[in-house]
């Protein structure tokens, strides 16, 4: 009997930890979305704010980058709210949006390297947190997690 109680308590602790990480990931996704919005607005307000490098393979106008960041930012904020509301679809979309955000920031590296690397790191953490929660949920419900 003690073994079953210990196992249940361990699973409940892990689930509590996973839920906290997912809530943090949702909040972080909203924060990253707001940061994306700020970067987009800065690009639209002053083209000279970002330094445009010559001979970059992915040459995109700074104004276009502004609109890209605004669109991604809005989607990240909405997805983060869905994650905090506990929606399964929002977790799935959250992983996809974090990947899109990381790729967009990778392409934005020549314009603002420090900012882009920070955003990529935050996106990777969000992806990890949302994936860990799915694994913990599978353990709690008795399903075998994937490989």
Task: Divide the 147 residues of the chain into consecutive groups of 10 and give the mean pLDDT of each group.
Answer: 60 66 90 93 78 66 87 96 90 94 90 89 92 58 45
Length of the chain: 147
Which pLDDT score, from 0 to 100, does residue 45 have? Answer: 87
Which pLDDT score, from 0 to 100, does residue 146 have? Answer: 44
Q: How far is CA 2 from the centre of its chain?
A: 40
- How far apart CA 60 and CA 105 sit, in angstroms, is 13
Is the Cβ–Cβ distance between 44 and 144 less than 8 Å? no
pTM for the structure as a whole = 0.76
Which pLDDT score, from 0 to 100, does residue 118 have? Answer: 94
- How far apart CA 80 and CA 84 sit, in angstroms, is 6
């Amino acid at each position: 009997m003690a073994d079953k109680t210990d196992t249940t308590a361990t699973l409940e602790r892990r689930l509590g930890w996973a839920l906290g990480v997912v809530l943090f990931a949702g909040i972080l996704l909203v924060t990253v979305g707001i940061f994306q919005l700020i970067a987009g607005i800065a690009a639209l307000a002053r083209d000279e704010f970002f330094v445009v490098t010559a001979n970059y393979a992915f040459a995109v106008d700074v104004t276009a980058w502004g609109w890209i960041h605004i669109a991604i930012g809005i989607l990240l904020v909405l997805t983060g709210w869905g994650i905090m509301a506990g929606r399964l679809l929002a977790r799935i979309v959250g992983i996809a949006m974090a990947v899109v955000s990381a790729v967009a920031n990778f392409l934005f590296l020549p314009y603002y390297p420090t900012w882009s690397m920070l955003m990529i790191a935050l996106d990777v953490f969000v992806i990890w947190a949302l994936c860990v929660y799915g694994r913990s949920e599978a353990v709690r419900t008795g399903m075998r997690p994937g490989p």
